[in-house]
Structure 1
């Protein structure tokens, strides 16, 4: 495993900003009268959740809380790395026109290390320009931050704005005692926004918003959202995550995003 830097410095930020940036299209498409918002994520966002008949993803409900067309491109089992390698970010970018909005949320499948029993999903550990070599494929594997930055550049090159959203929490009441510690990928999304230094890319802490709702609801209610495991929620839990996302955007939990003016009012307050 090769670690070139473990802490982002101004030099690293600059490197991340320029790495593999796609060239903007030579022909700029006119903005739609009403933007479309695309959602890129994993099973916690995807329709039918874990495909077990009991769970659903919050991207299946967010359309109830925004006043524009939503397109849920989330796919179960994906990480920022695998979504990139499979060309799924590029496929979304191919649909995007100027003025559209893209929400990117990963983290649940990004852990582990690609240098030992690589599952083709694990990112290289680190928050900068670190790279690893997969013991399975031999490919060079980059960090979560790297993949998210490259995905954001694909979208902004088409004239879209991007919201980097932190992952939803696992069941924080699983043990009967509240555990609210955020995974490292929550911070990595913030790091990516800082490295990009582009007003078209903003951050929303979906993890914090849902956590606040879970803390408010308590042990019994939250455990009921997780029928089979500690990651995938029931339709009711998925709806709550969508409501928390909308509330966070509307109330500017982390500042103004491009989706703020499209949140339906009155909002449903869940935290």
Structure 2
């Protein structure tokens, strides 16, 4: 059969079309969510994550693979006992790991247990300079007999995050595992390195899992005897059961890293056992922890006017709690802003946020609370169900919560504040009640002040309980009136509720002025 020029041209174009179609399909399989290769989940860490075969010691990273679908994902545990962030890099362990990382993979980074070791000695020479600054020292390493420049913990973690992102992979920073060390019925939590990992996560906009405090809460609920059974070898290393507790807690936290969990389709990578682990819905908030265990803490609880979203100024909106620390002496006081946007006094208490906050506080700490903006919401609906009964009385109402589907007893605004105060006082914690900051609602040249409402009720609870009281509503409203409407507009990032950075800094100054005499600074 003869083929004329027109037919030949058509056949050539059809062939070229199918070639492009097949090539595109092949490429699509290699990248993006439809790639056929397994997602690799790497772990970089020390002995608390490493894999062991001995009965009295196992790292949590050795068990993480038990929760993933082996046909879709692979956990590659490169954690190595005895290593700090410095020696993990210096010995080439990090480079060997990063060479295997591909786009779309996940790298979990957890160091700190060994970073506090001596910087220079003849046994391990593994310590890092404390903190996340830019300090460095040059040493003649007594172990390697080589000159070496040693940097801060933050320097080494920054390098790891940078290297992972250069591969278009996702880094996740973690605080340390929990040691079996108790004092006065409470576990001694690992403060500095966990806090530095948290601060690095904020600085680098990296996902963060506070494994230390999550596990500590569970161990304290178990008690000293049952916890000791998980640590048969020493105070740091746990057995198989302890590793499982850490691994499941970590996985629950990973599930709460929105939007990461959905973006990477992590749920599709889990097997039946992994899918059964309930997500920890708080993880994405990256709530802070005390920076220094040797200092007392000022701990803040409240709504979005104290801490908005993940505390990174989304939509230009900031809470005053994010700017309190600069007003106080960081060498004497930790400021720990645990406020959560969208919550009322009721949902902060019932949602588990309060219990976690209380668990990390110690006698002598100061609890500062500010609620009210969301307490006026409906008591029962299928969206938030966060309202409280009005006033400060001891009344209550029993409901079948439309959101949770569970029976619930709802108390008054004052009732929930008293719960915070009573439970904190029982642990030797000093309590401070703030009236809610005012909204930018003008009545002529005056800021609207609600009568017989949350500001007054906050004052009443403070007086009844003997708590210190900071009348933010009155003081800040007076400041707004003095500044005038035009200048006050610049202090808000939305119509009338959420402050800009400048507004949050202004409000933080008023809080600090009232706290300093109480703190003796």
Written as runs of structure 1 = structure 2, the 5 A alignment for 1:229-240 is 229-240=234-245
Q: Is structure 2 residue 253 aligned with structure 1 residue 248? A: yes
Shift of 1:206: 1.1
Aligned to 1:122: 127
CA RMSD of aligned residues (A): 2.5
Shift of 1:195: 2.8
Q: Distance in 2 between matches of 1:116 and 1:81?
A: 14
1:144 to 147, 153, 160: 153
Aligned to 1:83: 88
Aligned to 2:56: 54
- The one-character-per-residue Cα deviations of 1:158-204 (angstroms, maximum 9, x if unpaired) are 1110101111011144x67322433311011122223324xxx3111
- Larger Cα-atom Rg: 2
When residues 204 and 256 of structure 1 are mapped into structure 2, their CA distance, relative to the original with a 3 A threshold, is: farther
Structure 1: gaps spanning 5 or more residues? 1-28
Q: Is structure 2 residue 168 aligned with structure 1 residue 159? A: yes
Preserved CA contact (<8 Å) 1:114 1:133: no
RCO comparison, higher one (Cα < 8 Å, 6+): 1
Q: Distance in 1 between matches of 2:102 and 2:122?
A: 39
Question: What SS does the corresponding residue of 1:140 show, helix, strand or coil?
Answer: strand
1:69 to 69, 74, 90: 74
Aligned to 1:104: 109
Question: What SS does the corresponding residue of 1:76 show, helix, strand or coil?
Answer: coil
When residues 130 and 117 of structure 1 are mapped into structure 2, their CA distance, relative to the original with a 3 A threshold, is: farther
Aligned to 1:265: 275
Shift of 1:152: 1.2
Shift of 1:248: 1.6
Structure 2: gaps spanning 5 or more residues? 1-29, 281-355, 357-521
Written as runs of structure 1 = structure 2, the 5 A alignment for 1:180-195 is 180-195=188-203
Preserved CA contact (<8 Å) 2:211 2:250: yes
Q: Hey, which bits of structure 1, 4+ residues long, moved more than 3 A?
A: 29-34, 115-119, 255-263, 268-271
TM-score by length of 2: 0.42
Q: Distance in 2 between matches of 1:80 and 1:188?
A: 13
When residues 232 and 117 of structure 1 are mapped into structure 2, their CA distance, relative to the original with a 3 A threshold, is: same
Preserved CA contact (<8 Å) 1:243 1:269: no
Shift of 1:119: 3.2
Written as runs of structure 1 = structure 2, the 5 A alignment for 1:205-220 is 205-220=210-225
More strand by share: 2
Q: Distance in 1 between matches of 2:189 and 2:56?
A: 26
Question: What SS does the corresponding residue of 2:172 show, helix, strand or coil?
Answer: strand
How many residues are matched? 235
Q: Distance in 2 between matches of 1:209 and 1:84?
A: 28
Preserved CA contact (<8 Å) 1:176 1:219: no
Q: Distance in 1 between matches of 2:95 and 2:81?
A: 18
Preserved CA contact (<8 Å) 2:128 2:152: yes
Question: What SS does the corresponding residue of 1:139 show, helix, strand or coil?
Answer: strand
